[in-house]
Every structure is written in structure tokens, then in C-alpha cells.
Chain A
Amino acid sequence: MQSHFVLLAVFAVFVSLVFALLSEEDDPRAQLRFGGALFAGFLVAAIVFGWLMYPFPL
């Protein structure tokens, strides 16, 4: 398991899961929506920052 993307995605799953469970939402479906949005946010942010690092390398 050395793929950066897979490691990032698995990390995002864990963090999103815990935050969704800790959220104030009572309804499991609302928790799922919140967790899903968080997970998608992680992936989108990673891809966006990944692309930005081409023109602006650290």
C-alpha cells in the first residue's frame, strides 16, 4: 500500500467517519451526508492542491 492517493483516501475515510459520528446530527442519513461531503472535500482539496503544486512547487 504505497499509493499516495489510496493512503490519502483511506485517511479521509477514517477522519470523515469519526467527524460524522461526532457531529450534532441525530439522523444517520444526515450523518452519512455530512461524512460523504467531508470525504469528497478531502479528495477535491488534495487534487486541487496537488495540481497547484505544479506551477507553485514548495
Chain B
Amino acid sequence: MKIVVTGSIAFDYLMSFPGKFLELFLPEHLSRVSLSFLVDTMDKRRGGCGPNIAYTLALLGERPLLMGTAGEDFGEYRQWLEAAGVDTSLVQQIPGKFTASFFCSTDQDNGQIASFYTGAMAHAGELSLRTVGDCGLAIISPNDPDAMVQYADECRALGIRGIFDPGQQCARMSGDQLKEGVVGASIVICNDYEFELLRQKTGLGEDDILARSEALIVTRGEHGSSVMTRTGRVDVPALMPHRLADPTGVGDAFRGGLMKGIALGLDYSVCAQIGSVAAAYALEHLGAQSHAYSWDEFRQRYEERFGPLPAAPGYAASEAWAEVDLPTVRASAAPESRWGGLVLLCLAAWAVPGAGHLWLGRRSKGLMFLAALPLMFAIGLAIQGRLFPFTMSDPLVGLAALADLGIGVPYLVATAFGLGGGRVLAVTYEYGNAYLIVAGLLNLLVVIDAYDIALGRK
């Protein structure tokens, strides 16, 4: 089944202010506020509802199609998503625009001042579900409001099973727009606060929504979620996280898990349980796309809380879930339990400059490192540089030897062929040493970069 995820594609810029905003607002000058906050730290993270949902679906073995608009700065984000198993062929980059960005400063009291730059997201209406052949399931997550209504209409017209997820756009969309979204959808999902907004703006209650849709799912944070269908209501508890790291993207992870269950044809309450497990993983990690898990880990966690996974219609249980392999996520978001894979990645990155980046799907970077670093090392040898011996009689010589070794296999090849003897009298001797040592040290930095990428830090 082809699954399409529509929604915002954005970067999050998260800053921390080492003070309290309230202390800086002067009541007598509120009519003319002019403030600038000097922040201590800033993180740039990959975000947006669309990629977050698609990422969870990819973790669960699907290859979702992400549909959305991004700016010219989307290149590396696209590579990251592709490496994670998300099909980004429907993401359109808008010339002259930046990807939508969320700028948020948080003070010591957790007070927040934020701005959202729409950027390329405003062009989402230029895309259409009509261009996707054979779409079995689609989610309309927060995006440009007009585009959301358009996608809902298209779901209805094309007979696509659509999930309407207005999210934070409940505040922005008019009652009529929200109504159109609800009418076009098979399933409506929102959190309890958003549901109240939706109810106030549209005048539609649970029964009215269920008269138009198969199911209404309301999430309630740590209190779990409620699945309402025409046959009744089931409350699904949340899964207790092992630790609380960051709530960003937790709702999106829930939706990804829910969609996986729907794609397998499971009962909505089971789908919500899968969503709860996916949400718990997201809650335990910083950022919305830095968590990962193997299927065995996911299933074990599900079964510890909810019991054995039910069989999907048309499958024996084992067969249904046997489809869920995790071939695509690989090391691009390696979890703590994949230390073996991480070690292997770092070893490969050390042995062959650029191999770590190539492994993680950063092809252009990997090829550049592969070309540049061995060439730099070779030039160092050619201009009479010396590969220093491992001796601690002079600590600097020992350190230089370690730096030389940093280049990996080229060092081993050079020593095997007796190269790197160095000629002290050569004019270029010191330059050669600098080339050899720095090539090794740069390769070690490249290894660390690959490690950071694998952990989702970059």
C-alpha cells in the first residue's frame, strides 16, 4: 500500500536565554517594545510534521512518500530522509525560498517567545494528491491551511483513505476550512486542546464528526488517547517513557505508529497502542528524528505493555509483522543498542576516509573526503614527509605517529611499501610532515562527524 504523508517541512532553531523574559518587559513601555535577547545556545534541528511522521513510518518498515514544499536549503535534509527510508520524490524545492523555520527562545522559567517563518510552505497548494497513483492511505498534517483543505477534497474525490490532522493549524483555520477537512477525511485526529478548538469553530461534536468519518482519535498526552468509532469508545493508555528528554515530535511519532497499524488493517485501538509505543520512543530522545529502534525492540516493548500483537487481517501474526523489517534506517539514526553498528561505522570511517559518510548516504561529502584526504597524504609522502615511529622517548614523536595513523588504510599501505622514511635535508621535509599529520587529524574529525550524523546530532 502506498502511504502519502503531507505536512509542513521545517527546521527548528531552538535557543536558550539565560534570564527571564518577564523581567525585561517594562510595564510603562509596553506600547513600544524594543528588545533583543542575547542567547547562550542555539540548536538547529530537522523538523516539520510531515518528515516527523514519515520518519516513524520508515522506522516501522514502510517507505512513505513525503509530499510537501521546501526551500533551497533542503538538500541535506532530503539526503537524511532518503537514508532513513523516506521517499522524498514528491518534495518540491521552491527557488528563492527558505524552508519553513521555527525560531524559539526559551528562558529559565520555560517561558517561550517564538516565530514561525512560512517560507516555502506557502507553496504547498501547488502540489496535488492527483499526481500520486494508487495511494492507499494519506495523512493531512499541519501545513498551509488552503493546501490542507485542497488535499482533503482530493482525498474525497479520489477515494483515498485520508487522515485529517489539523494540529496547531486549528488556531489558524476558519470553521469552514476545518469542516471541509473533516468532511473529506476517513479519520480525524487531534489532541484534546485542539479538539475543543475544532468543536468551538465548527460546532461539530463527536457524533457529528463520526457521522462523516470512520473514527475520531483524540490524544491526551500522558493520559493516553481515546479512539471513538460509531461502535463505541476505547481509551488507550500512554506508554511510560524510560526518561523524559524532549516532547518535540511526540504527537507526530504517535501518528506514524497509528498509520502503520492502519496500513496493516488492524483495529483502531491496536493502531493507537502502536502509536503510544512510537510516541514513547520519541519522548525519550532529544529532537523529533533522533530516535531509532529495531523491530524486535519495538515489539517487545509493545508486548510488555499491551500483550501479544494481534494478527493483521489476512495474515498470521508472525507473517504480518515479518513484513516489518528495518532495512532502510540503518545507522543513520543508530540507537544506543546499536553500538556494534556504530563501532563498525567508525572503524570503516577511519580505515577509508569518507566511508562513514558514504555508508550514511552522504554521498557527495563521502566522495570528497575519499578524494581529498588520501591525496593530501600522498602529497605528504611525495614531498619527503616522514611517518613517525611509535616511540614515547619523545612524546611529540609518539603523538605525531598517532596523528599519521589517523588516515587509516593509506598509512598501512605506505608502511607496507616502506614509504614515509622522510628526508630531513629536503626543503619540503617539514611541509611533508604537516601534510601527513594534518591529513590523519582531519580524517579523525571526519570520523567524529560521521558518528554525530549516525546519532542524529547533525
Contact = CB atoms under 8 A, between A and B. Distances in A.
A binds B: yes
Interface of A: 1-2, 4, 7-8, 10-11, 14-15, 17-18, 21-22, 24, 26-28
A15 B445 contact: no
Given A26-B76, A27-B72, A28-B75, A18 B428 contact: no
Nearest to A26: B76
Interface of B: 44, 72-73, 75-77, 365, 368-369, 372-373, 375-376, 379, 382-383, 427-428, 431, 434-435, 438-439, 442, 445-446, 449, 458
Contacts of B379: 10
Contacts, number: 50
B75 A26 contact: yes
Contacts of A17: 368, 372
Contact of A27 (B44, B73, B368): B73
Chain B at the A interface: SS class: helix
A11 to B, nearest CB: 6
Interface of A is mostly: helix
Contact of A18 (B44, B75, B431, B445): B445
Contacts of A10: 379
B44 A24 contact: yes
Given A2-B428, A11-B431, A18-B445, 18 more contacts: A2-B427, A11-B376, A11-B434, A14-B372, A14-B375, A14-B438, A14-B442, A18-B369, A18-B372, A21-B365, A21-B368, A21-B369, A22-B445, A22-B446, A24-B458, A26-B75, A26-B77, A28-B75
A11 B372 contact: no
B119 to A, nearest CB: 14
B449 A22 contact: yes
B383 A1 contact: yes
Nearest to A18: B442
26 contacts: A1-B382, A2-B427, A2-B428, A4-B431, A7-B383, A7-B428, A7-B431, A11-B376, A14-B373, A14-B375, A14-B439, A15-B442, A17-B368, A18-B372, A18-B445, A18-B446, A21-B369, A22-B445, A22-B446, A22-B449, A24-B458, A26-B73, A26-B75, A26-B77, A27-B72, A28-B75
Max chain A C-beta neighbours (<10 A), residue from B76, B77, B431: B431
Contacts of B427: 2
A42 B379 CA distance: 19
A17 to B, nearest CB: 6
A9 B453 CA distance: 30
A7 B369 CA distance: 20
Contacts of B372: 14, 17-18
B150 to A, nearest CB: 29
Contacts of B439: 14
Contacts of A22: 445-446, 449
A22 B383 CA distance: 27
Contacts of A27: 72-73, 75
B230 to A, nearest CB: 47
